[in-house]
Structure 1
Amino acid sequence: MKPILRLRLPAITCVAFALCVASAAAGEAYYVAPNGDDSHPGTMARPFRTIQHAVDLASAGTTVVIRGGRYHESVVLSGVLGSAKAPVTITAFPGESVTMDGTRSIEELSSTGWTRHQDHIYRTVLAQDVWQLFADGELMIPARWPNAFFHDNTLWDQETHWARIDSGKTTTGLITDSPTTHHKLSALPFSVTAAMAVLNIDSFRTYTRRVSKHAPGAASFSVTPVSSVRPTDGYYFLEGKLELLDSAREWFLDPATKALYLWADAGEPPGASVRGKVQDFAFYGNQCNHVRIEGLQFFATAFNFVNSPHMTIEGCDFRFAGCSKRMLGIEAVPLTCSIVGPDSGAFASVIDCTFRYSECHAVYLDGAGNRIENCLFERIDWSCSQLPRLMSTVYMHGDAPTFRRNTARACGASEFIEFTAPPLVELNDFSEIGLVQNDGAIVQLTRGAQSGSETRYNWFRNTTKNGARFDASTAIGSPTGSGGLMHHNISLNTRCGLMIKGDNHRCYNNTTIGSRNNGIVVLDDAISHNNGTVTRNNAAEKLSGHRAAKQVLPGIHGHNWNGYDHDPKGKTPPLRDPDNLDFRPRPDSELVDRGTPVDPITDGFVGKAPDSGAYEFGDSRYWIPGRQHDTATTPIPPNLGTGVKSDADLMWLAGKEATAHRVYFGTGSQSLTFQKRQANNIFSPGTLLTGTTYYWRVDEVTPSGTITGSVWSFTVSANANPLD
């Protein structure tokens, strides 16, 4: 079965937008602008001042058009009802930037103004709580020990910027520090009693607990007991005490007095650019139906809808949408973007959005028929504390979820996405997942989510976690899952590419490279036997029935290329250039025509039989997962790449609306030569000169015109020959 290479999301031009507004079923269009007034009629010439006022007047077919600017509103949409043919739409005016801002200026909130507390630390007293702080748009970090920051990515570095527990002396209610060369709890000259502790001490679970007892110089502190402590190395950090404020970019709020403290590195009072988060949600709805929110930016705020089916969030940008309230002494699950439908299903759509910099999970969807498509998830959940259930970056609960063509990179939770029913997971590009938790897999399918699931055409890259996993209980004799399907996935530099537990699963045409344990594990142990599991047409450096050692596969298997058959320690499948993301078989390799037809998984194969692995030699298209943009993206070889083969092909991820591609190529960035117009996404430039840097560009031909692409470059290795 061939993957869908394009996701078609309709572009909204000004003309199309005007036609859409004019043809709304109810014939209503209300405009909102920062200089408007709610006494106005809400026309473009005389707009409203608040989004809330426009929403209060909305009915099926109404479009609320927001002019450019920043809006600090908590808009309540309860009872707003659209229909499938006449939704209520809230959208940005074309070409204008609309930001829903969950912060307020500290100068506005302050009742005293800034005064020097000591050295670089300044103090002011607020009229209300804030639980996140920004200066010049940059995130300030709650004063913590050990110090770590967002701007330099040290928040993710547990080895040197978190403290380590002594697992042998730590219990559920007593946390014992394990001193390192850079952090030692007993060296602190003060008590950390009443501090908030973030405890990654239970494998894939991380807890927030207030320190109930600690003496200065002691190596242990007491907390309300957590559920369990796993016998592995764990990490923690402390925050929420003024004594921990010792560095630039740190702050502290005393929730009892509302005194705010901030390190001002310039040696003078902080300026007007300091802003605090005071809002959870910019949009809240209960018992809504068929509402669309389009083209808005969200800064330090989110959305929350309950009992509201058929919600659509499209083309929105979320920055710092969710965070904990540890600074206020609250241990609860952090609030973030969420849609919880009625029992009959939510049917929510989150499309073409970006989610970045949330301290906690990015999205929580609950209800049948939900989909997340063509979104970016980046630098999310760096603490992972008190996340729901198994602790994930994304939650899709309910029947028939779809997670398609998304890009996720640099996320903290040990599993990226959690399902409670069988999903379709396809054409996603995952990398650097599970940065601050242990165990887990990027796509974690528990027993109830396995039968009827399909995980296909994904890349799992550069993570210490597993790529995708059919999971099971660890208790001998406990039930395991069955009936799941994984095919045409790539795993590159993971702990284990695919972990198959249970029975009667199907594992076809996957490729794994650089796994630290075995690449594809069809587990046969005291718990999981994989009776009836079919494993065919895979290409793995290590394919085994054991997690880490060589072992015979259980179930039904054949036509696989297994590196254990070529080397006792495993061997990399013979691919063209995996270092530069070309995972196709070498033309002369044993992978070609090695497989066997599997209907409909291998439909359209090239040659005498399907190849083993995720790609077909000789295919005219190269499937590339991840989020699509208007322009061509994901160049292969990667931009600025080195060590490229002299027979490299040029490949790319097509733009969303592309019907054809215009390819330019040359040895100078300003002197590219048009090569050809073509329908597929592979261009062969011929033999390349070793040691030479080449430049290229792909312009996307779309129904609305040609979109010029970026100029990319790569350097051919001075030593490598073709297929080396």
Structure 2
Amino acid sequence: MLGFLVLLSSLNLTSSKVFHTDPKKADLERNVMDGSPTFPFNTVSDCINALRNPGDECQIHEGTYQEEITISGLRGTENNPIVIKGFGEERPKFDGTVDIAPVDGTWKREGPIYYGKISHEIWQLFFDDLMMTNARWPNANWSSKTVFDGLNHWAKTSYSRSKDIIVDSGGALQNSGLDMTGAMAVLNIGSWNTFVARVLEHSPGVNNFRYDYKNAYGDVRNRMKHGRYFIESKRELLDAPEEWFFDKATNTLYFIPPAGAQVTESTKLRGKVQTYALTIKDSSHVVLKNIDFFATTVRAIPSFNEWKYVDNIKLDSLNFIHPCASKRMLLLDEVTQCTKVDGRKRMGVQRFDSGSFTFFNNTFHGADGIPLTYIAAQSRLENNLFTENDWTSANSQTKDGGHSTIEARTLKDTVIRNTLLYNGEGHGIRPGFNPNVTLNRVEGQCWGYQQNDGAGIHLTKRPQENAHIERNWVHDSPKYGIRFDSSPGNYGRLGTISENVAFRLGAGGVQMKGDYHKALNNLSFDKQGGKARPRIECSLCVWKYVRGSTFEINRYSTVYGNVADVANGGKIWQNGRMVHPVTVRPMNGITSNNVIDRNIKSSLQDPDNRDFRPLNDSITVGPYPYNPSSKSYWIPGRQLYKASSPVPPDGATLVTAPHRDSLMWLNGYGCETHDVYLGRDHDIVARAGRSSTEYLGRVTGGNVMYLKERVVVGTTYYWRVDVMCHGKVFTGDVWNFAT
């Protein structure tokens, strides 16, 4: 039987082919284009339709493509996947927008507002590549990133007896003088749940409005005490630069240009008309590589009624810029459809019977919604960048457990070396089962306080078992850094949080609920903004009880080798109320060798500038045990082709000179050899070569260059790190720091 299978396999081997798409060279007068370099296809669709066998490739030449393609029935193999990619070093772009112009040829104007009837129904608008903001109250815009600022650019809710009534806290709504009837409301009234609802009734001068809660999210308990909201997508709200409104009843577009901008013949207005450029179905071992997506994105989905599914899909080095946008402007309250890979073979969330996927080296920027969702048996998310996504967090249509920037439902989830920067959702990484979350950097998660709960890395009950959360930096957020969370009496267990650094965090650094967990060699300190943490709060939180619950947790958890400014077991409650004056318990569990010191930063090299090494051997635990001659200093996050993530950070102005004994950086991806330059003149350092006095030497197999001479106080230094890799030299950026 085995011999038959081998023979059958060999008989089916076919030579793979490479097809090309290049509209610039395509001869449209030819009856037949064969996809060769000489006679390339005119469309990507034709190129993909030519793919037949394992190893086949569709190579897309540089250009802008506005196609909507379904990829189906492609079957590669593990060693010979079918590849759809940019040609050579070129990066073709799929564009989900169209040019917008008034049908009568001229924009009309009324004060600062331009308007005119257009020929497309659009739900996102760009003015010379700047994303415009739906007309809204209170005002905010994309260019200033105030759209993320829930504290200052959302209104506040007050207690209401009626589920369908929102009462403004204060007189802001009343004083606006606006009629909100018919507009769309974005409502963070479920703590970690944010909903979208149509405003049914409101009158100018009234401080409350009635909304359609049944269609928005059903019958759930609201949390108005700390709620916030904004209202958008109505013509009367259009009153500030960068705002726009589309009246779908008349197909009329209204907009106010960005401050200082003029509408001229060269002005480029583009509107979003597409959700997905590529839809993958019924396919396996398919790779998408080196392609850009603007205002559109990709999905891979099953067809349950046909018993067809997707498996082993790889997204490799794709750039998703503003990949998805809500349709609130079209008065729809549906959740935004964004990048999603769904490997289920049957309905439900059977991770055991699903496909497996890889996401490598992709960029997700400016998504209005969850930038990436995947459902898989196994997944690997490696070396990706997520920046400034999801400024509403309106991802719930019912009361649920909340959402995140990266949303995974997997049986085995590997999340390694990703960078998340200033995304809006309350949670950053929420991995699936049996997760390995290693060497990720999560900075500024929910920085604008859009939601009332969250953490940079957040695990609910079931994912905690066999979880390994290791060597991550989580920082500069009002939320928790790393959290094992669950409800009283329903706790997780057997998870490990080790060698992480959690700093400048509002709610706390590391919080562990459950039992039989391990918190090992973590470093945690400071509130948001670098403020000292009060004793009644905690940077390392290993609780004994959750608030007034009498169910003990963490009795058998191990807490070893951690370093923190404040650590405790939670505030003391009696009879369902917090004891006053507020007092805290000691950390619960089996604790040993922890270093808890309110002044812990003074024992570290330069923690405000990301140098977390101990000054001396008084600290032999934590994520960076004392070792004055170590050649390596682990730095998390996405790696580039060149050196990145310098320590001290680029532009640092308060570097502690007596402690600056070395320079450190994140190595180029897959590269071991780096040349280091340092000087006091930017231009000289930029031009320096190995014969220059600025050349400090070569580092191989590490990322630490020790300085032969100490830096001088009150001086600005410039430095760069060149990468020698694969026979090429990649010149580094010139960084600077001031002592």
Q: Please, what TM-score do these two structures have when normalized by structure 2?
A: 0.86
Do the aligned residues in 1 keep the contact of 2:544 with 2:569 (CA within 8 Å)?
A: yes
Determine if the alignment matches structure 1 residue 519 to structure 2 residue 539: yes
Shift of 1:190: 3.8
**Percent identical across equivalent pairs?**
31
Do the aligned residues in 1 keep the contact of 2:619 with 2:626 (CA within 8 Å)?
A: no
The alignment's C-alpha RMSD in Å is 2.0
Do the aligned residues in 1 keep the contact of 2:160 with 2:224 (CA within 8 Å)?
A: no
Equivalent-residue separation in structure 1 for 2:480 and 2:73 (angstroms)? 43
Equivalent-residue separation in structure 2 for 1:496 and 1:549 (angstroms)? 17
Equivalent-residue separation in structure 2 for 1:72 and 1:342 (angstroms)? 29
**Partner of 2:405 in structure 1?**
393
Do the aligned residues in 2 keep the contact of 1:540 with 1:573 (CA within 8 Å)?
A: no
Alignment of 1:280-291 (within 5 A): 280-291=275-286
Do the aligned residues in 1 keep the contact of 2:493 with 2:517 (CA within 8 Å)?
A: yes
Shift of 1:271: 5.5
Counterpart selection for 1:200 from 188, 201, 205: 188
**Partner of 1:3 in structure 2?**
none
Alignment of 1:459-470 (within 5 A): 459-470=473-484
Counterpart selection for 2:100 from 96, 106, 115: 106
What residue identity is the alignment partner of 1:504? Y
Residues 1:571 and 1:663: Cα distance change in structure 2 (over 3 Å): closer
Residues 1:72 and 1:37: Cα distance change in structure 2 (over 3 Å): farther
Residues 1:637 and 1:264: Cα distance change in structure 2 (over 3 Å): closer
What residue identity is the alignment partner of 1:253? F
Residues 655-686 of structure 1, C-alpha deviation per residue, up to 9 Å, x if partnerless? 00312111112222233421211222111113
**Partner of 1:546 in structure 2?**
570
Do the aligned residues in 1 keep the contact of 2:484 with 2:514 (CA within 8 Å)?
A: yes
Equivalent-residue separation in structure 2 for 1:658 and 1:229 (angstroms)? 52
Residues 244-263 of structure 1, C-alpha deviation per residue, up to 9 Å, x if partnerless? 11122111111222222122
Determine if the alignment matches structure 1 residue 221 to structure 2 residue 209: yes
**Partner of 2:8 in structure 1?**
none
Secondary structure of the residue aligned to 1:400 is strand
**Partner of 1:370 in structure 2?**
379
Equivalent-residue separation in structure 2 for 1:334 and 1:100 (angstroms)? 19
**Partner of 1:595 in structure 2?**
none
**Partner of 1:674 in structure 2?**
695
Residues 1:616 and 1:425: Cα distance change in structure 2 (over 3 Å): farther
Secondary structure of the residue aligned to 1:229 is coil
Shift of 1:122: 2.5
Shift of 1:87: 1.2
Secondary structure of the residue aligned to 2:72 is coil
Equivalent-residue separation in structure 2 for 1:528 and 1:136 (angstroms)? 58
Equivalent-residue separation in structure 2 for 1:505 and 1:90 (angstroms)? 44
**Partner of 2:665 in structure 1?**
652
Determine if the alignment matches structure 1 residue 576 to structure 2 residue 605: yes
**Partner of 1:19 in structure 2?**
none
What residue identity is the alignment partner of 1:249? E
Secondary structure of the residue aligned to 2:47 is helix
Equivalent-residue separation in structure 2 for 1:395 and 1:56 (angstroms)? 32
Shift of 1:162: 1.5
Determine if the alignment matches structure 1 residue 34 to structure 2 residue 52: no
Determine if the alignment matches structure 1 residue 697 to structure 2 residue 720: yes
Secondary structure of the residue aligned to 1:398 is strand
Shift of 1:337: 0.5
Residues 1:172 and 1:416: Cα distance change in structure 2 (over 3 Å): farther
Equivalent-residue separation in structure 2 for 1:337 and 1:274 (angstroms)? 25
**Partner of 1:357 in structure 2?**
366
Do the aligned residues in 2 keep the contact of 1:384 with 1:412 (CA within 8 Å)?
A: yes
Equivalent-residue separation in structure 2 for 1:398 and 1:427 (angstroms)? 20
**Partner of 1:605 in structure 2?**
none
**Partner of 1:530 in structure 2?**
554
Determine if the alignment matches structure 1 residue 64 to structure 2 residue 58: yes
Determine if the alignment matches structure 1 residue 48 to structure 2 residue 72: no
**Partner of 2:443 in structure 1?**
431
Stretches of structure 1 lacking an aligned partner (at least 5 in a row)? 1-23, 593-610, 717-724
Counterpart selection for 2:637 from 617, 623, 626: 626
Equivalent-residue separation in structure 1 for 2:109 and 2:231 (angstroms)? 22
What residue identity is the alignment partner of 2:247? D
**Partner of 2:10 in structure 1?**
none
Counterpart selection for 1:457 from 471, 483, 487: 471
Shift of 1:112: 3.8
What residue identity is the alignment partner of 1:443? I
Secondary structure of the residue aligned to 1:401 is strand
Equivalent-residue separation in structure 2 for 1:339 and 1:427 (angstroms)? 24
**Partner of 1:239 in structure 2?**
232
Determine if the alignment matches structure 1 residue 662 to structure 2 residue 690: no
Counterpart selection for 1:135 from 127, 141, 146: 127
**Partner of 1:295 in structure 2?**
290
Shift of 1:364: 0.4
Equivalent-residue separation in structure 2 for 1:575 and 1:139 (angstroms)? 43
What residue identity is the alignment partner of 1:410? Y
**Partner of 1:89 in structure 2?**
83
Counterpart selection for 2:166 from 170, 175, 187: 175
Residues 141-197 of structure 1, C-alpha deviation per residue, up to 9 Å, x if partnerless? 11111110000111122233221212x2375311011236xxx11123342111000
Equivalent-residue separation in structure 2 for 1:625 and 1:549 (angstroms)? 36
Equivalent-residue separation in structure 1 for 2:164 and 2:552 (angstroms)? 34
Secondary structure of the residue aligned to 2:152 is helix
Equivalent-residue separation in structure 1 for 2:362 and 2:435 (angstroms)? 20
Secondary structure of the residue aligned to 1:365 is strand
**Partner of 2:500 in structure 1?**
489
Residues 1:367 and 1:613: Cα distance change in structure 2 (over 3 Å): closer
Do the aligned residues in 2 keep the contact of 1:695 with 1:713 (CA within 8 Å)?
A: yes
What residue identity is the alignment partner of 1:144? R
Do the aligned residues in 1 keep the contact of 2:18 with 2:59 (CA within 8 Å)?
A: yes
What residue identity is the alignment partner of 2:442? F
Counterpart selection for 1:591 from 612, 619, 622: 619
Shift of 1:286: 1.3
**Partner of 1:338 in structure 2?**
340
Do the aligned residues in 2 keep the contact of 1:120 with 1:267 (CA within 8 Å)?
A: no
Secondary structure of the residue aligned to 1:155 is helix
Residues 1:612 and 1:379: Cα distance change in structure 2 (over 3 Å): closer
Shift of 1:571: 5.1
Q: Please, what TM-score do these two structures have when normalized by structure 1?
A: 0.88
What residue identity is the alignment partner of 2:613? R
Do the aligned residues in 1 keep the contact of 2:370 with 2:395 (CA within 8 Å)?
A: no
Shift of 1:137: 0.7
Secondary structure of the residue aligned to 1:349 is strand
Shift of 1:392: 1.1
Residues 1:549 and 1:277: Cα distance change in structure 2 (over 3 Å): farther
Equivalent-residue separation in structure 1 for 2:669 and 2:625 (angstroms)? 22
Q: How many residues align?
A: 660
Equivalent-residue separation in structure 1 for 2:322 and 2:263 (angstroms)? 27
Shift of 1:272: 5.3
Counterpart selection for 1:708 from 731, 734, 737: 731
Counterpart selection for 1:262 from 249, 255, 264: 255
Shift of 1:111: 3.8
Equivalent-residue separation in structure 2 for 1:678 and 1:118 (angstroms)? 63
What residue identity is the alignment partner of 1:581? R
Determine if the alignment matches structure 1 residue 409 to structure 2 residue 421: yes
Stretches of structure 2 lacking an aligned partner (at least 5 in a row)? 1-12, 302-308, 346-352, 528-532, 572-581, 686-693
**Partner of 1:617 in structure 2?**
627
Deviates more, 1:259-268 or 1:122-131: 259-268
Residues 568-616 of structure 1, C-alpha deviation per residue, up to 9 Å, x if partnerless? xx7547211101110011115x313xxxxxxxxxxxxxxxxxx244444
